[in-house]
Amino acid sequence: MIQIGWHRFGKNVDEFEKELASYVNIDCAAALSAGTAAIHMAFKALDVKQGDIVFCSSLTFSATANPIIYQNATPVFIDSEKETWNMDPLSLEKAFEKYPNPKAVILVHLYGVPAKIEEIREICKKHNTPLVEDAAESLGATVNNKQTGTFGEFGVFSFNGNKIITTSGGGMLVSNNKEKIAKVRFWATQSREKAKHYEHKEIGYNYRMSNICAGIGRGQLKVLNERIAKKRAIYEKYKEAFEDNSYITMNPYLENSEPNYWLSVIQIDEKSGVNPLDILEALENENIESRPVWKPMHKQPVFEKYDFIKIQEKAISEELFERGLCLPSDTKMTEEEQERVISIIKKCFE
């Protein structure tokens, strides 16, 4: 075919959608320019708009919450529980008592650890509220052998540079609702109507993944299982190394779930007298990068005017932020490098 110009769509986009959908075992997927775009499109497909309330995990990256504002809706942030660090089902129930008719719930599977998704799905069903899973960090993680991102009405994945697999930048929206996914593809390509000329009846977005990125994604999907195995080995090595230090706990997960171990994170008991920032600095002095745990959304200047629901006197999400540290978890890290990280951390407790 001789075309008027270079065409950004092609076979890779369709194939990447099919392959990703097949990997997580869901009917449909739309490849988009970012995970954030996928969250935005999920809310649009659920008709989230001005005056609507959306319940949202507080302990997450801001990209989970920003699209609520893009749709002019109002977030209500929900605290974490201690067993997975994700949305607390009891706090969620409490939120439904205060706000009986939210438009949607969005939860995150933080650092690749699945949330108490089955419990939360039941609560959402009981209240007839659609659930969106921000699985940007948890591709490949499962609960009772079912993939995160496939429990709710919509699931979101990210292929940003820091994620377990990457297309340099990109995202995917998945669902078993074929019509809604088709509609998202339409909005994401500037809402161009089927006509010879350019015809628009709705506002559109330039949110589609490019064919080049999708090509990279197809290659990356082939190494996903390998990456998870490597990430798991890194997690296990840290876990073993800190086993005899009662002040350190690794980011926990439930027995019925299998994380993708995207990031190894530790929580440090206050009684140790060691602050996570002391460790961050000790590592930094050796040119090793570590990061604080996400600062909860309800503590962020841009979101602090919104309501926050918790059941504990001291919010779990705040405690995790204050006491947590994300450790080097790159799959390219060698065993020797990880041993160095471990010995620097151990020294902080001497």
260 in contact with ligand PLP (CB under 6 A): no
Q: How far is the CB of 63 from ligand PLP (least distance, A)?
A: 4
Element (H, E) at 217: helix 211-241
86 in contact with ligand PLP (CB under 6 A): no
Q: How far is the CB of 57 from ligand PLP (least distance, A)?
A: 9
150 in contact with ligand PLP (CB under 6 A): no
Window contacting ligand PLP (CB under 6 A); options: 2-10, 94-102, 129-137, 279-287: 129-137
**Residue 280 CB neighbours (<10 A):** 18
Q: How far is the CB of 137 from ligand PLP (least distance, A)?
A: 5
Residue 44's contacts (CB-CB under 8 Å, 6 or more residues apart) are 71, 184, 187
35 in contact with ligand PLP (CB under 6 A): yes
Q: How far is the CB of 273 from ligand PLP (least distance, A)?
A: 31
> What are 30's strand-pairing partners?
173
Whichever of 140 and 274 has its CB closer to ligand PLP, that residue is: 140
Please identify which residue in 16, 55, 61, 187 interacts with ligand PLP, judged by CB under 6 A. 61
Q: Which residue is nearest to ligand PLP (CB)?
A: 35
The type of residue at 344 is I
Total of chain residues touching ligand PLP, rule CB under 6 A: 14
DSSP 101-144: --SEEEEE-GGG---SHHHHHHHHHHTT--EEEE-TT-TT-EET
160 in contact with ligand PLP (CB under 6 A): yes
Residue 307's contacts (CB-CB under 8 Å, 6 or more residues apart) are 76, 77, 98
Which residue has tokens 């006509």? 195
CA trace torsion 107, 108, 109, 114 (10° rounding): -10
Window contacting ligand PLP (CB under 6 A); options: 57-65, 70-78, 80-88, 194-202: 57-65
Q: How far is the CB of 319 from ligand PLP (least distance, A)?
A: 19
E runs forming strands in 121-205: 131-134, 142-143, 146-147, 154-158, 171-175
How far is 271 from 278, CA to CA, in rounded Å?
Answer: 14
Q: How far is the CB of 9 from ligand PLP (least distance, A)?
A: 20
Please identify which residue in 67, 112, 171, 328 interacts with ligand PLP, judged by CB under 6 A. 171
3-state SS of 268-335? ECHHHCCCHHHHHHHHHCCCCCCEECCCCHHHCCCCCCCCEECCCCCCHHHHHHHHEEECCCCCCCCH
Q: How far is the CB of 254 from ligand PLP (least distance, A)?
A: 19
Classify strands 131-134 and 154-158 as parallel, antiparallel or unpaired.
Answer: parallel
Whichever of 63 and 325 has its CB closer to ligand PLP, that residue is: 63
Whichever of 66 and 190 has its CB closer to ligand PLP, that residue is: 66
190 in contact with ligand PLP (CB under 6 A): no
Classify strands 171-175 and 154-158 as parallel, antiparallel or unpaired.
Answer: antiparallel
Q: How far is the CB of 195 from ligand PLP (least distance, A)?
A: 31
Please identify which residue in 81, 137, 153, 319 interacts with ligand PLP, judged by CB under 6 A. 137
Window contacting ligand PLP (CB under 6 A); options: 34-42, 120-128, 296-304, 320-328: 34-42
How far is 154 from 134, CA to CA, in rounded Å?
Answer: 9
60 in contact with ligand PLP (CB under 6 A): yes
Phi and psi torsions of 38, nearest 5°: -65, -40
Q: Which residues bind ligand PLP (CB under 6 A)?
A: 34-36, 60-61, 63-64, 108, 134, 136-137, 158, 160, 171
